[in-house]
Amino acid sequence: MINIEHHDKLVAITIFGEFALADYKEFEELVTYKIQFGGPIDLLLDLRQMAGFTLDVAWEEIKFSRRHARDFRRIAVLTDDQWLTWSAWVTQLFVDAEVQVFEREIDARDWLDTAAEAAS
């Protein structure tokens, strides 16, 4: 299950339990819409309560990242899992965005807010 929050140039997604393809498609649809009508966005991914993801989600994420390689300004990843931290750094190979991993949400949002203020 996912929870999506969005406003202006920020999309924040929190994943609970297993990240399934239907959830990813919901996220993908919203992000595509935001990019199409507003240009590059910032992304906050809260993976702290994610139990795992399906293989089809991993494949879809690679395809989506390649299609939108230049459509993200900053990506903040919330996790305390070392595997997910490493995975976040690998994501930088597919997108032209700054990717940063955080353990605390306040730090991630501060970092994203700094980017938003600089872009204004």
Q: What is the dihedral of CA 110, 75, 97, 17, to 10 degrees?
A: 170
H or E stretch at 44? strand 41-53
pLDDT of residue 88: 57
User: How does pLDDT run across 68-91, given as a tens digit for each residue?
Assistant: 889 999 999 998 876 655 465 555
pTM: 0.85
Q: How confident is the model at residue 24 (pLDDT cuts 50, 70, 90)?
A: very high
User: How does pLDDT run across 42-51, given as a tens digit for each residue?
Assistant: 999 999 998 8
Mean pLDDT calculated for residue range 29-40: 94
Give every CB contact of residue 83 below 8 A, 6+ residues apart in sequence.
none
Topology classification of domain 2-114: Rossmann fold (3.40.50)
Q: Which of 12-16, 34-38, 48-52 has the lowest mean pLDDT?
A: 48-52
Strands across the sheet with 10-19, in order? Answer: 2-7, 10-19, 41-53, 72-78, 98-102
pLDDT of residue 21: 93
